[in-house]
A and B are shown apart, each in its own frame.
Chain A
Amino acid sequence: MKKIIKAAMLFLIAFVVSIIPALSASASQATSYTYTMDDNGDWTRTQDAYLPDKTITELGLAAPDDIFIDQYNMLYIADSGNKRIVKYSINKGEIEGILTYEGMTNPRGVYVTKKGDIYVADPSAKMVFRFDKAFNFIESFGRPEAPSFSDTAYEPLRVSVDNGGNLYIIGEGVYNGVIQLAPTGEFLGYFTVNKTKLTFIQALQNAIFTRAQLANLVPRVPTTFSNIFIDRDNIVYTTTMGTETDGIKKHNTAGGNVFVDQDWTSPEMSDLFVDEQGIIYTSDSTGYINIYSSAGELIFDFGSFVFDLDISGLYSRLSSITVDNNGNIWTVDGDKGYLQSFKPTDYALMIYNAIGLYEEGRYNESLEKWTEVLRLNQMSVLAHDGVGKAYLHAEMYEDAMEHFVVSGNREFYSEAFWEVRNTWIQGNLKYFVALLVTLWLIAFFIKHFDKKRKFKTFKKTVRDRLFSVPVLGDFLFAFRVPVHPLDRFYDIRVKKKGTVTGASIIYVLFFIIFIFNRTSKAFIYQTQKIEDMDINAIVIGFFVVLILFIVCNYLVTSIKDGDGDFKQVYMIPAYGMLPYMVAMLSTTIMSYGFTFNETFMLSIIMNVGLGLSLIYIFLGFMTVHDYTVKETVISLIITAVFMIIAAIVSLIIFIMWEQLWSFLTTIGKEAVRNVLD
């Protein structure tokens, strides 16, 4: 992995160096790095997606809070500090008009319909105003009269209007959801609701506290919506503050959220814009701009927070974002009161283009685009995913698999692998059937023509010989335990069978299989990469837990009238572990032939193996210590408690030893210094 990164970096450097003469001017324009997510969901740098373009400071804005661009590339700014709406022509680069109205005291949200009607949300006036194209006042929407609205606060912060003329209002301090008004101003209800999510402790408090105690706690209110956007197809999008999992919501008509399990959204989400293609541009009040695909996957993240410096592209409070007809991003800084636009780079445009082509079903063309993107950035997870999906549609499954491995898309990898495996099975089915038939025939002949059962006795003698080989036999004894566990553990109890060597071999084998299982499963099931694992912790943890368990169990049972000696206690877990070992080994190997459709087989095998092993170990202790079921359970519980105590005590000793050591070294150093001086 590191090698790949290194290689990619080298390639990038070489690439950059080779094109510097041509691009040197634009390469220095970006004021922040652009990030995206790698296949693990970690941030990784990528090429600049947007470059700061125009910085417009001369409009005299004071605390601008919301901006909107209509279809004629006119930018409307809710200039709340100056109690006005500024209409700015992006094409001409000058102010086109200024809207003021006497009732408008704090315009915070602005929305313009296709017809040109301007809606302004004003929390101080507690009104939503509607003006026509020429800035003439048409009507205002005051507090709804409906009884169902009851005493909810009505201080509109943002407003959006759908094609039918219904208003969607985000109110300050409204926890019930988005207020939805009919064109007549009638209250239609709350469009969508954010639910309070209780932490475990809060749920516990709810369950046991009295009403009075609950009243003393900080009230648990749901996270509030921070902004709303309605796209041309009347799909409603909202942003929510204070959540990292569903900051962006794409709503269906019932108000439910279409996005589930999003990777990451900013907890400070302040605004969003969705373009015709469905690309979602969001701003976060700490100064970051995040761009998501229509499926809610993060594409880019750029921008940054800056407090006392004035650098274009960095913000002290990024309050609103929108995109003009040319694809340029426009943002406004609420503190400093200036507009900032960004121009997409070819790289960003290429990615949008490829996504768009894929969504339109033009897979071949999107494949070409994605390949171009890959040429620019070999590590682009999005591009690999796109190429993989295009190959999947083109039924080139093996190529698709390769790309899905890089992009870490296990679900689609599984799909592609299913197809590859299906072709393989169809090709080789005849051999498989032939093999089965031959085996069956052999079994049939042995059964019917071997009258004297020579074959059976031969098998038995071979088995008996193997079992009586000194060390190997001790190990093979484990295979006889699952058949008659009680009898075999009794053999161990009366010291007829089972040795410490045999048990040790099993422990070592178990450890090898355990590591093999953790590190070497097939791509679909290996969710943690080997290089991200802490092998030391696994190794030490494994042996420490095992030894601690054996020692503690021996100590506990020796005072609880257990018959077993230390050797037997050491042997029981080993000889009982075989089912789990077999399950781990077989599932690891089988994972290479399985897709997500058959995952249940693996989990069944693992659960049965683990369950059997636990039962066997339990029976083993019961037999060896000559306990009843109850006594065994009690002894195991005490063992567990004892293990925890032992772990804590050793931790304390370890910490104290470190203290002592540093104390001794300090004394030593002092002594050396004093003696030498």
Chain B
Amino acid sequence: MTGSKQNQVKQIRRKKLSSSKDGMRTFFLMLPYGLLFLAFIAVPIAVAIGLSFTYFDVINVPKFAGLSNYIMLVTQDESFLKFVLPNTLKFGLIVGPGGYILSFVLAWMLSQIQKIPRIILTLAIYTPSMASGVFIQVIWKTIFSGDQRGILNNFLMEADVIDQPIQFLLSPDYIMNIMIIVSLWASMGIGFLAMISGILNVNEELYEAAYVDGIKNRFQEIIYITIPSMKPQMLFGAVMSIVNAFNMGYIGVALSGQNPTPGLAGQLITNHIDDFGFLRYEMGYAAALSVVLLLVVTMFSKVAHGLFGERD
């Protein structure tokens, strides 16, 4: 009886969807968003991909150049292969997963405390990612500065560790690590908020049931209950932190005050794109670099989907 009723409902639904009237409705419903998406996302990406096969200096008409931009990328651009690519990978591999794990740990810890301190702390932890540009100027440049403002240098000199101030922000030896520290500090962004809400939304009864079934500690709670019940938020956080990690290029420039960064030590692929696109006006080559960045980000997102995506 119930089975046949369900079948009936299904049939009706299928009929409704397939009717042309509803198709039109869906089309018009999608139209505003679709147009916006086309105009501001799909077309620019398509143009960038198109430009990446040309030689374009902003003034003249783009000349078709085939794959030469990509060939140049892997064969002639020594600064890309020697510095930018290893830097980007290092930065991405540490800041991406590192920031992600930090976000989760902090979110989980915050979810264990009372409401009011949690709200205050959440805001405090989230703020750096909103206004990191200002914070970098105010806090980090003061801490690592090599002149009389430098707090870290002052501390080290008082402790007799060094004789002369170290130019942390201008030294190729330090700039990368400082960038990583600053980015980790600023990585509790929107993904972190999503994870807090995800953890708070897990049904309490699940934990109780699990304890009845023999779970003994918080760790098992996390592994068996919390993470599986908040997979969507985990996925969102992962994708956000990957995108974030590959777009933090401005940090090196903001910290050192120079583009390219000293000794190319803090040069990420986004800086390289800036360098070619807006300093040298080689738009074709910059577009090719952007396409490579797009591919890398897509690849890493696929990995995240593999880990946390819904399998059906």
Judged by a CB distance under 8 angstroms, whether B14 is at the interface is: no
Residues on B with C-beta less than 8 A from A598 are 86
Query: Which residues of B (59-105) have their CB < 8 Å from a CB of A?
Result: 74-75, 81-83, 86, 89-90, 93-94
Q: A597-B86, A600-B86 are in contact. Are A629 and B219 (CB under 8 A)?
A: yes
A485: nearest chain-B partner, CB-CB: B223
Q: A195-B163, A597-B83 are in contact. Are A628 and B74 (CB under 8 A)?
A: no
Q: Are B74 and A429 in contact (CB under 8 A)?
A: yes
Judged by a CB distance under 8 angstroms, whether B216 is at the interface is: yes
C-alpha gap A446/B219 in the complex (Å):
39
Q: Are A426 and B75 in contact (CB under 8 A)?
A: yes
C-alpha gap A600/B95 in the complex (Å):
13
Judged by a CB distance under 8 angstroms, whether A418 is at the interface is: yes
A419: nearest chain-B partner, CB-CB: B78
A484: nearest chain-B partner, CB-CB: B223
A431 to chain B, nearest CB (A): 14
Q: Are A601 and B89 in contact (CB under 8 A)?
A: yes
Judged by a CB distance under 8 angstroms, whether A422 is at the interface is: yes
C-alpha gap A256/B94 in the complex (Å):
35
CB < 8 Å: which of B82, B90, B94, B217 contacts A629? B217
CB < 8 Å: which of A193, A198, A604, A629 contacts B160? A198
CB < 8 Å: which of A418, A426, A604 contacts B93? A604
A235 to chain B, nearest CB (A): 18
Q: Are A628 and B164 in contact (CB under 8 A)?
A: no
Chain A residues touching B, majority SS = helix
Judged by a CB distance under 8 angstroms, whether B220 is at the interface is: yes
Chain B residues touching A, majority SS = helix
Query: Which residues of A (250-288) have their CB < 8 Å from a CB of B?
Result: 256
A596 to chain B, nearest CB (A): 10
Judged by a CB distance under 8 angstroms, whether A486 is at the interface is: yes
CB < 8 Å: which of A193, A198, A426, A628 contacts B216? A628
A529 to chain B, nearest CB (A): 28
C-alpha gap A187/B90 in the complex (Å):
51
Q: Are A597 and B94 in contact (CB under 8 A)?
A: no
Residues on A with C-beta less than 8 A from B89 are 601
C-alpha gap A418/B81 in the complex (Å):
10
Q: A195-B160, A256-B164, A604-B94 are in contact. Are A426 and B74 (CB under 8 A)?
A: yes
Judged by a CB distance under 8 angstroms, whether A665 is at the interface is: no
B185 to chain A, nearest CB (A): 20
A427 to chain B, nearest CB (A): 10
C-alpha gap A422/B217 in the complex (Å):
52
Q: Are B90 and A600 in contact (CB under 8 A)?
A: yes
Query: Which residues of A (184-211) have their CB < 8 Å from a CB of B?
Result: 193, 195-196, 198, 203
A450 to chain B, nearest CB (A): 18
A194: nearest chain-B partner, CB-CB: B163
C-alpha gap A256/B166 in the complex (Å):
12
Residues on A with C-beta less than 8 A from B75 are 426, 429
Binding site for A on B (CB under 8 A): 74-75, 81-83, 86, 89-90, 93-94, 160, 163-164, 216-220, 223
29 interchain pairs, CB-CB under 8 A: A195-B160, A195-B163, A196-B160, A198-B160, A203-B160, A256-B163, A256-B164, A418-B82, A425-B74, A426-B74, A426-B75, A429-B75, A486-B220, A486-B223, A597-B83, A600-B86, A600-B90, A601-B86, A601-B89, A601-B90, A601-B93, A604-B90, A604-B93, A604-B94, A628-B216, A628-B217, A629-B217, A629-B218, A629-B219
Binding site for B on A (CB under 8 A): 193, 195-196, 198, 203, 256, 418, 422, 425-426, 429, 486, 597-598, 600-601, 604, 628-629
Given contacts A256-B164, A426-B74, A597-B83, 6 further A-B contacts (CB under 8 A): A198-B160, A422-B81, A425-B74, A601-B86, A601-B90, A604-B93
The 4 nearest A-B residue pairs measured at CB: A600-B90, A195-B163, A597-B86, A426-B75
